[in-house]
Amino acid sequence: MNPQLVLVGGGHAHMVTLANLHYFTRKGIHVTVIQPSEHHYYSGMGPGMLGKTYSPEEIRFATRKVVEKKGGTFVKGKVSALDPEKKEVLLESGDRIFYDAVSFNAGSFIPMDIVSGETANLFPVKPIESLKTAREQIISLSEQQPVRVAVIGGGPSAVEISGNVWRLGDRFCRHPPLITLFCGARLLSRAPQKVGLLAGKSLEKRGIDIRFNTPVDKIEKNRIFLKSGAVEEADIIFLATGIKPSNIFSNSGVPTGPDGGLLVNRFLQNPEYPEIFGGGDCIYFKDQPLDKVGVYAVRQNPVLYQNLMAYFDNAPLTPFEPGGDYLLIYNLGDGTGIFYKWSIMFGGRPAFIIKDYIDRKFMAKFKASEK
């Protein structure tokens, strides 16, 4: 039996590995890629898709096409757990897939603990694909009357979703939506205060109602119950309350970090099971806890590829160096953005132009492997 490599997820941290999949198959290594969808959507452009700056086709990678073109096997499914002793990943379908080595780029999810009952009008900001459905619902509902849209959260996703719902309503809806953002003491609390003030000023200028210090207790259908006792109603609700790593690992008895992410060492390798690797939001980097931002997955890209290849070649592994500060640019939905790195902070059209250029360049680089 040929050596078996399994990749769980085709996200940012696996892009280089997928682009070079043919080097594994040429060595006689059978590669299986498991993913819930045949496409992987780039989260950095997701809010822009919601606001119709980008089409769905512009922000997604054809994972299945790339895998099969390069000699691998694509499995459309969702991994629920793994058995590290038998070296098997377990799918929700009940199927089991054996591996000699496995790498996880299984991403993260929005906890739904505060949600009960019907959820047809509720959209967590992950998975990104759900934003397509939200977009069409808002456009459809707006034919009759203004749609009441609530965004729960005060981080980057909440800000970008609010701004891009405004753009959708301004350009594509018969009746512009009424947008309310429920957040904590301030917007973008992990960034310098100036960044949050810039975001708030932009949103409020466009009529978006920002409700500070309004923690949500629970959500039931169209009703939002605040911890203050007040009840708000909405036709569409976006949940952007923070992410958690995939629960695959907490279900499996493998070592995890305090957040439930797969514990990995400086080689992006689980210290107890050296045949298990991982990158992106689903891991906990033992040497230095990392923010859940896409830049780290992109930086892990070449290291994961090199180390998976080295593992099968019995060669030395390459350590991952997280690097220094990273650039953040937020898409505010009105053709402007906020640029933030080191002590450099500014808003306006130039910030969005830079973000758009970087995002399109990233997409073009890895879409090239589809041709």
At 119 the pLDDT is 84
Q: How far is CA 277 from CA 81, 83, 200, 303, 308, in A?
A: 15, 14, 40, 11, 8
Residue 35: inside a domain: yes
My answer on whether 268 and 339 are in the same domain is no
My answer on whether 156 and 213 are in the same domain is yes
Residue 158: inside a domain: yes
My answer on whether 214 and 290 are in the same domain is no
At 1 the pLDDT is 79
My answer on whether 93 and 233 are in the same domain is no
CA distance 332 to 351: 10
My answer on whether 251 and 185 are in the same domain is no
What are the φ and ψ backbone dihedral angles of 218, each rounded to 5 degrees? Answer: -160, 160
At 276 the pLDDT is 98
Contact present, 148 and 142 (Cβ < 8 Å): no
Residue 48: inside a domain: yes
Four-residue CA torsion sign, 141, 143, 144, 149: positive
Q: Which residue is listed with tokens 């991994």?
A: 79
Four-residue CA torsion sign, 69, 72, 76, 80: negative
My answer on whether 339 and 209 are in the same domain is yes
Q: What CATH number should be reported for the domain holding residue 89?
A: 3.50.50.60
CA distance 69 to 132: 27
Contact present, 327 and 197 (Cβ < 8 Å): no
My answer on whether 128 and 59 are in the same domain is no
Tokens of 284: 């906990």
Q: Is 187 left (phi over 0), alpha (psi -120 to 50) or beta?
A: beta
At 89 the pLDDT is 98
CA distance 197 to 219: 28
At 146 the pLDDT is 96
Contact present, 337 and 345 (Cβ < 8 Å): no
Residue 230: inside a domain: yes
> What domain range includes position 266?
4-109+243-325
My answer on whether 201 and 236 are in the same domain is yes
Residue 202: inside a domain: yes
Residue 187: inside a domain: yes
* Number of domains, the chain: 2
Instruction: Return the biggest CA–CA distance within the chain.
Output: 64
Give the pLDDT confidence of 194-236 residue by residue, as tens digits: 999 999 999 999 999 999 999 999 999 899 999 999 999 999 9
Long-range pairs of 341-350 with CB within 8 A, sequence gap ≥ 24: 345/192, 345/194, 345/195, 345/198, 347/198, 347/202
Residue 296: inside a domain: yes
Give the pLDDT confidence of 88-142 residue by residue, as tens digits: 999 999 999 999 999 999 999 999 999 998 888 999 999 999 999 999 999 999 9
Contact present, 305 and 288 (Cβ < 8 Å): no
My answer on whether 211 and 94 are in the same domain is no
Element of type H or E holding 97:
strand 96-98
Could you say which residues of the chain have pLDDT below 50? Answer: none
In terms of pTM, does the model score above 0.85? yes
Nearest Cα to 82, choosing from 290, 314, 249?
A: 249
Element of type H or E holding 344:
strand 344-348
My answer on whether 186 and 281 are in the same domain is no
My answer on whether 193 and 179 are in the same domain is yes
Residue 183: inside a domain: yes
Element of type H or E holding 337:
strand 337-341
CA distance 251 to 246: 10
My answer on whether 12 and 139 are in the same domain is no
